[in-house]
Structure 1
Amino acid sequence: MKQIALLLSLSLFTLTSLCAQEIVPLGGYDFLNVKPKGQPAGQAKMNCDNLLPDGFLQVTAEDSLDITINVDTNGFEVGSAYTCLNCDDLEFGELESTDAGFTYTANADVEQGLDTLELAFCNPDGDDCSVVQTVIVVAQRASRTFTFSAETLSPQERIDIEVPLDELPEGVACRFFADCEDGYLGNEQSVYFLRDIMVNNDFAYVAARYGGVDQVCLQVCNDLALCDEYIYEFEVVRPNIDLPFFDDFSNEGNRPRLELWQNQDVLVNRTLAVLPPSIGVATFDGIGPRGFAYPLDGTVTGPRDFLTSAPINMGGESNLAITFYAQLRGLGDRPEINDSLRLEFLRQDGEWQNVWSTRGISTGFGNCVDTAFTFYQVDIGNQFYYDGFQFRFSNLSSQTGAVDTWHLDYVKVEGANQMGLNDIAFVAPPPSILAEYTALPYRQLLAAGQGILRTSFEASFWNHALPAQTIPISAADYRIEELGTMEVLLEPNGFDIGSLAPGLTAFTNNEPDDGLFNDYLEALEDFDEDGEYVVATTYDLGGVTFTEETDPGFVESVNANNFTTTTTVFADAYAYDDGSSELALAAQSGGQTIVQRYEAFTDEVLRGVSIRLPRSVNDVSNLTIDLVVFLGDLEDGGSPDLSMTVSPIYAEAFYSDSLEGFTSYAFPDSLDIPQGDFYVGWRQNGTCSGSTCVPVGMDRNNNVEGVRFFRNSGDWNPLEGCSLGALMIRPLVGNSQVPVTSTTEFNRDEFVTVYPNPANERVFLTTRNDIELTRLNWTLYSLTGSQLARGTADSQGIDLSNYAAGTYFLRVVDSTNGKISRHKLVVQ
């Protein structure tokens, strides 16, 4: 995101909306901001710069310090001199008088001590002196540096370091980790203290992915600013990998695969690109590995995100090439002409050589014009055929935040005899089973009837077969099931395509007008109309699976793009969004109101609002907004039926499992919603303009038209445009209590506690009310709804060692009464 707001070009809006709102980039990705396992909270860096008390002077053993005092020497006779009145009592150094004042020299064997000097200017007899001035000198030994032999770690491994008890006089009063000039390129490593400063200085080090030698420089200081340094080295060892190299970023989680890549800078996602070659892309922008914007270095264009391959065995190879697809902008922010995406190769001398780059587009390029993925092939020269070869992509930008976005996909490094990799890939998740909404109370679904349901299923495929050829996919199907009960709502149905031509194919499978609705109702007829359900729509290529026997260029991960799932939530909330914000929308000025329309198909009770308030580049915490609700038709100049002033509260500040965290606000009194339309939104208060106003998340993957409106003071106007999307505002309805500042989409019956969360290799379940663990059945899902594992709870916990870092969905069912406890689980 840019430091300045993005005011989209005239082609984006109708004339009524041009001067009304501003689309602004996000300031970071909250769901990446997860502290390392075991890291205590509140470890802000100590400031050890001003430990020495005011007025104290500091000198190191054997060093000298010139001291001057401010006295008026007029009227003193010849022979008068600077005099120390108590130098016979000095313990830690010696003082000599000079023509300009004094020189204090610390003893060679001093550890630490205070000498108090009483200084004056006196006549030769010493009986007439100026006003006595007191100077306190801190004499100390020199700072010490301790260097330790290197510890060897694997990428992302943790090691606890026992620091020797320091010999600082008077003990440690301040400590911090200083920057080390080690040249190490990893940037997501973590280091943190394990104990309070009064106990010891032991710390944990969590390695980055990047191979090489990292240094940690620990500084410990006493309360008189004497500091010692401990230098530790950590060698992160990455084994070389063999060809072929392939990644289409279809893996679960938000980070690239550990075995292939040495950085975590890029964001792996399924929402920011448009029609990628395979579901999932790596997005480059101005946000670092922990979800925060990189520091802005003026307006200097420089690298932001890096994606560096693991070392590859290339010795003895020839005629190799790197192929990949790249797209600028997608659903994110447009890279300008001075921005670029580049590819570099590592030479044997350790220097990086630029071999390819592409530039952004001019500001005159229309925001409503899609930018397709472009295929690139870069041949590898003979000088790079050595074991340990690496390549890296990076983006160059003068901005910071989720700006200047590039999307990378389908990266391959192959030899001439391996270019026959066959693959059929989904390029996007399925749509919601609802025509417009992504979440809805189940009772509203029953009241709405079949008209609210999607009556067709759209799917896009990419045939990557090499050499280009038509491939039959008669075994591909789609199915719909409720995850809580595992009830199948729609039996697997085949995509009636027959075969796919090379390249991209978009396909629509139409159902009879009432076919889908009748199937759903029959499957759900025994469900509680006030219940909470998660319905998963799954696309599966089924029999289109390649193996090493069928494909000489087979790579195990190539089949990961054969399966994709979308969930639709039926609980006590309405939603148009999929939970991901690609951009944000802010009012153009204070006093403006923006709303989104919803429909009650039967009478409802509104109890609060969940709203996605993403952090922006600008600080808006001092502003307030009015949450507003209008019932029935919007009337020009009409007042809201409900209004409540709130301050922005960021969910990620309270919940470590905040994936695109929603902030929930409960209304003081519930509001009855009659059957018909109602509108929920916000009015901007205070003085602000565009990007300095409070932004609200916007999901560009579901740009439902005709539901967004705004007004400044009088008439309402439609808020439309090709670069807009669903506003991430979710009315909370029904009889359930609103979970204030909650990050969940539905309430949990938490008879189970999951710990630790975040977790690393294993997570455990504990129960309330003496429930036996053996009564509990658990299922682990990805956030896209894919079932990953299931089992019966026991004291050994759930093994997570095979799952990539990211956020998962854990469902626990009590087999005796059917109660369900749902949890978002963060794996590190």
Structure 2
Amino acid sequence: MHQWLTIFLLIFLGGWSAQGQLLTPLNSAPPHVAGGKGPGRSDLTPQPLDGETLVLPFFDDFASGEGGPDSRRWLPGGNVNVTNRLAANPPTIFAATFDGLQANGQPYGSANTTGPTDTLTSKAIALSSFQPEDSLYLSFYWQAGGLVDAPDFSGSMLYYLQLEFRDASGTWSPVWSQKGAGRSTNFAPVMVALKESRYFYDGFQFRWVSSGSRNGLRDVWHLDYVYLDRNRRLGQLQTTDAAFTQRLPSLLRRYTAMPIWQFLENPGNEVRSEVGASFNNLSNLPAAISWRAYSRNLTTAAVDTFLRGSAPVSAGASQPVAGSPSVPFLSRHTQPHVLETVLFLNTREPNFYTRYNDTLRRETSLQDFYAYDDGSAETGFSFPSSNAVQLAYQFELSKPDRIKTVRIYFTGTNTPGTELFLRLWADDNGQPARQPLHEQRFTVPQTVGLNNWLDIVLERQVEVQGRFFVGYRQPTGGTFVNVGFDLNENANGKLFAMNGTAAWQAVPDLGGAVLIRPVMAGTLTAVEEESLTQAKPLLYPNPTTSGSFYLQQGYDQVELYSPQGQSLQVWGKVPPTQALQVQASLPAGIYLVKARKGDQLRTAKLILLK
């Protein structure tokens, strides 16, 4: 559907009424973004070859990995993308996606243009030795929309997916088509018989063509489990195959990535109690299947197997498998690293080309940043308003830390050079505090930097503890900002918004996660803490009746905070004994002074008397 998927916040009062967040289709995307790895391409060929002509059976469930279709089966240049991120509940992991984007991630045409989009064409197949009596069927599963924009409805053939056969004369003839209905669907099976003699020659080909919007991830179709063979009967959709049908979840319970030092503070609380997935026995016979799962440190290559099992699985049955990752193994590695979790089946399937769907992989970063997302954006999130809008994303620490950088994914629908204000907030009863801990101006990058992460390095590292919030402020004037949104993970209840001067409100669950990541610097070292503990008093005079004070040493930056954590004043490059004057309007009370020099931070209470 071309209309933006809008959630109106009519339940809120004041500035929230008639305003809403938008999930908008991507107008462009990075080519072949890896949101989840497949098992990797094997050196084995999918079936015997006779030059460039394939022989039966022809099978592809697209499970060999993210990117373009397998060049051993399909002709290049059709702009179809294979991914595990956009289809909803495919028959097996991964599916081929048809949309309004080329393989390089750029749209075919400008906005509001409609016409032919992607094509998926098989290589030539040798069929001269077969007859219509050999019962050849081509079967496949199709889906409209899935997790993303569904094809629009039209009385004419504007939005469609169509299957065509090529005869010996080179003529392509449609044999099946599906028009857009303006809504997403489940995967549906189709079987098409090859009954006409004109198709039984060496060089037969089939292809799918799509039509719809030529501008973005719109009017999307998905294709899975393509199977052409002889001696089939109507309704026999699968071959002998056991296959995973879903992605692996994050190894972590709360996040998809987190700093290694935060993880090690309480690893037993951070690791998911069970990690696994379900697989289906797609054949019409029971099968004895075994499985195994392990974690591997990609830096040290250390491996730990945390799951082994086996069971007889009935024909057509689904089997969940899960195990508990070893916390002692995971907490043994103290340096930043990436963990790979692998779950695979031993199916003893006779056809090796069905084995790609027997393996799942998932990477978990234990480095220096927090994330709720998997690194890929399937759509864009925005909050258009005539008021100044603030968006805040909640994170929670295991121990105090410092933020050094904020990473935000800006989609291609943004206007380069748009001015925004990065903000960090402390916690106030589960919501962002009224005043930020830090604000910093930045601009949306130029076009070449869109559809990618922007690292905003803080002018100063900001100390945080417990819950904290990271986000940005949109100035007034109808500024449009579009941030990547991951539809395969969920950060429900973590995003807050303030529209104008209204109160903070939790954003309703949108079924995904915004691509915003705080990058942490770590806490002060023990040596730093000891030197600061033994240091002389920071402030003189203290208490102060005039509001003036000085520091005996020079500092790169001095900052005055209210007891609630609100930044009140900042002085940069303060030399020794320079007088610092607090604002005359501040009432008597106790304030907090933070003085930073390099990586060292000193904090002291300032008592103001009047």
TM-score by length of 2: 0.75
Alpha-carbon distance between aligned partners in 1 of 2:341 and 2:277, rounded to the nearest angstrom: 12
1:148-159 pair list within 5 angstroms: none
Listed one character per residue, the Cα deviations across residues 257-293 of structure 1 (whole Å, up to 9, x for unaligned) are: 1111113411111111122111111111100122101
- 2:360 is the alignment partner of 1:360: no
Q: Is the 8 A contact 2:264 2:331 kept in 1?
A: no
- Counterpart contact for 1:479–1:537, Cα < 8 Å: yes
CA distance, structure 1, for counterparts of residue 111 and residue 22 of structure 2 = 25
Deviations 1:22-51 (A, max 9, x none): 111112122359xxxxxxxxxxxxxxxxxx
State the AA in 1 paired with 2:6: L
In 1, Cα distance between equivalents of 2:356 and 2:316? 18
Offset of residue 686 of structure 1: 5.0
Q: What does residue 30 of structure 2 align with? A: 30
Residues 220-239 of structure 1 aligned to structure 2 (within 5 Å):
239=52
Question: 1:303 aligned to 97, 108, 116, which one?
Answer: 116
Kept after mapping to 1: 8 A contact 2:6/2:20:
no
Distance 1:502 1:6, change over 3 A: farther
**Aligned match of 2:43:** none
Partner of 1:559: 355
User: Residue 540 of structure 1 aligns with which residue?
Assistant: 344
Match of 2:171 among 351, 355, 364: 351
1:568 alignment partner, one of 364, 388, 401: 364
- For 1:374-393, what aligned pairs fall within 5 Å after superposition? 374-382=188-196, 383-393=198-208
Shift of 1:701: 0.8
Q: Is this contact kept in 2: 1:438–1:575, CA < 8 A?
A: yes
Counterpart residue number, 1:586: 382
Alpha-carbon separation, structure 1, partners of 2:111 and 2:440: 40
Contact in 2 for aligned 1:587/1:684 (Cα 8 Å) = no
SS of residue paired to 2:261: helix
Q: Provide the secondary structure at the position in 2 that maps to 1:578.
A: coil
Write the deviation string for residues 408-437 of structure 1: whole angstroms up to 9, x where unpaired.
111011111697731111122311111130
1:506: how far off? 5.8
Q: In the alignment, does 2:536 pair up with 1:720?
A: no
The separation in 2 between residues aligned to 1:430 and 1:243, in whole angstroms, is: 32
More displaced stretch, 264-273 vs 576-585: 264-273
2:221 is the alignment partner of 1:406: yes
Report 1:154-233 matches (<5 A): none
Matched, 1:470 2:286: yes
Query: Identity of counterpart residues, as a percentage?
Result: 28
Partner of 1:431 in structure 2? 249
Look up the SS of the partner of 1:389 in the other structure: strand
Measure, in 1, the Cα distance between the counterparts of 2:357 and 2:267. Answer: 34
SS of corresponding position for 2:272: coil
Higher strand share: 2
Per the alignment, residue 768 of structure 1 pairs with none
How far has the Cα of 1:245 moved from its partner?
A: 0.8
1:532 counterpart letter in structure 2: P
1:696 alignment partner, one of 462, 465, 483: 483
Paired with 1:545 and 1:624, the residues of 2 have a C-alpha distance of 58
- Residue 266 (structure 1) aligned to one of 49, 66, 80: 80
**Separation in 2, partners of 1:506, 1:624:** 51
Q: CA deviation at 1:684?
A: 1.9
What letter matches 1:402 in structure 2?
A: L
- The answer to whether residue 59 in structure 2 is matched with residue 252 in structure 1 is no
In 1: Cα distance, 2:269 partner to 2:330 partner = 18
CA contact (8 A) 2:86 2:147 kept: yes
Q: Structure 1 residues 628, 423: CA separation in 2 closer, same or farther (over 3 Å shift)? A: same
3-state secondary structure, aligned to 1:395: strand
Alpha carbons of structure 1 residues 272 and 238: separation in structure 2 relative to 1, 3 Å: farther
What SS is found at the alignment partner of 1:30? coil
Decide which of 302, 320, 329 is 2:136's aligned counterpart.
320
Supply the AA of the counterpart residue of 2:338. Answer: V
Cα distance change on mapping 1:653 and 1:32 into 2, 3 Å: farther
Task: Please tell me whether the aligned partners of residues 636 and 715 of structure 1 are also in contact (alpha carbons under 8 angstroms).
Answer: no
Map of 1:44-193 to 2, 5 A cutoff? Answer: none
| Conservation of the 8 A alpha-carbon contact between 2:66 and 2:84 | no
Check the 8 A contact 2:267/2:327 in 1, yes or no: no
- 3-state DSSP of counterpart to 1:560: helix
Query: In structure 2, what is the equivalent of residue 6 of structure 1?
Result: 4
Tell me whether 1:648 sits opposite 2:444 in the alignment. Answer: yes
1:371 matches 2:185: yes
- What CA distance in whole angstroms lies between the structure 2 residues aligned with 1:598 and 1:358? 45
- C-alpha spacing 1:558/1:359, structure 2 compared with 1 (3 Å): same
Q: Are the counterparts in 2 of residues 623 and 685 from structure 1 also a CA contact under 8 Å? A: no
Matched, 1:685 2:475: yes
Q: Structure 1 pair 503/627, CA: closer, same or farther in 2 (3 Å)?
A: farther
Letter matched to residue 282 of structure 1 = A
Distance 1:725 1:406 in 2: 21
Q: Which residue matches 2:420?
A: 625
- Tell me the equivalent position of 2:328: 521
Per the TM alignment, residue 332 of structure 1 is displaced from its structure 2 partner at its CA by 1.2
- Residue matched to 1:240: 53
Deviations 1:384-410 (A, max 9, x none): 112211111122114520011111111
Whether contact under 8 Å (1:238, 1:311) holds in the other structure is no
Give the Cα separation in 1 of the matches to 2:265 and 2:160: 52
Q: 1:326 to 1:509 in 2, by over 3 A?
A: same
Query: Structure 1's 462 and 586: CA in aligned 2 closer, same or farther, altered over 3 A?
Result: same
> What amino acid maps onto 1:669 in structure 2?
R
What secondary structure does 1:476 align onto?
Answer: strand
Q: Is the 8 A contact 1:637 1:715 kept in 2?
A: no
Q: How far does residue 570 in structure 1 lie from its aligned partner after superposition? A: 0.4
1:342 corresponds, among 141, 154, 162, to 162
Once the two structures are superposed, residues 510-555 of structure 1 have per-residue CA deviations (whole angstroms, 9 ceiling, x without a partner) of 65xxxx4xx3235533x33xx21111111110x21323xxxxxx3x
Calculate the aligned-residue CA RMSD, in Å: 2.7
For 2:19 and 2:191, locate their aligned partners in 1 and report how far apart those are by CA, in whole Å.
44
Gaps of 5+ in 2: 34-49, 524-610
Q: Match of 1:137? A: none
Per the TM alignment, residue 645 of structure 1 is displaced from its structure 2 partner at its CA by: 1.8
1:287 and 1:416 map into 2 onto residues whose CA distance is 38
Residues 1:276 and 1:297: Cα distance change in structure 2 (over 3 Å): same
In structure 2, relative to structure 1, the CA distance for the partners of 1:535 and 1:354 (3 Å cut) is same
Q: 1:316/1:298 Cα in 2 relative to 1: closer, same or farther (>3 Å)?
A: same
3-state secondary structure, aligned to 2:356: helix
Hey, what's the Cα distance between the residues in 2 that align with 1:558 and 1:708? 41
8 Å CA contact retained: 1:460, 1:504: no
> 1:463 offset after TM fit, Å?
2.0
Displacement over 6 Å in runs of 4+: 417-420
> Does the residue aligned with 1:283 lie in a helix, a strand or coil?
strand
Which one of 455, 459, 467 corresponds to residue 273 of structure 2? Answer: 455
Where 1:479 maps in the other structure, the secondary structure is strand
- Aligned to 2:380, the other structure's residue is in SS state strand
Number of residue pairs aligned between Structure 1 and Structure 2: 488
Q: How does the TM-score come out when normalised to structure 1?
A: 0.56
Pair 1:500–1:626, CA change in 2 (3 A) = farther
Following superposition, the deviation at residue 457 of structure 1 comes to 2.3
Q: 1:665 to 1:506 in 2, by over 3 A?
A: farther
Q: Distance in 1 between matches of 2:151 and 2:252?
A: 34
Task: Give distance in 2, aligned partners of 1:314 and 1:9.
Answer: 52
Instruction: Select the structure of larger CA radius of gyration.
Output: 1
8 A contact 2:307–2:323 mirrored in 1:
no
Separation in 2 of the partners of 1:342 and 1:329?
A: 15
Query: Which whole-Å CA distance do the structure 1 matches of 2:7 and 2:496 have between them?
Result: 19
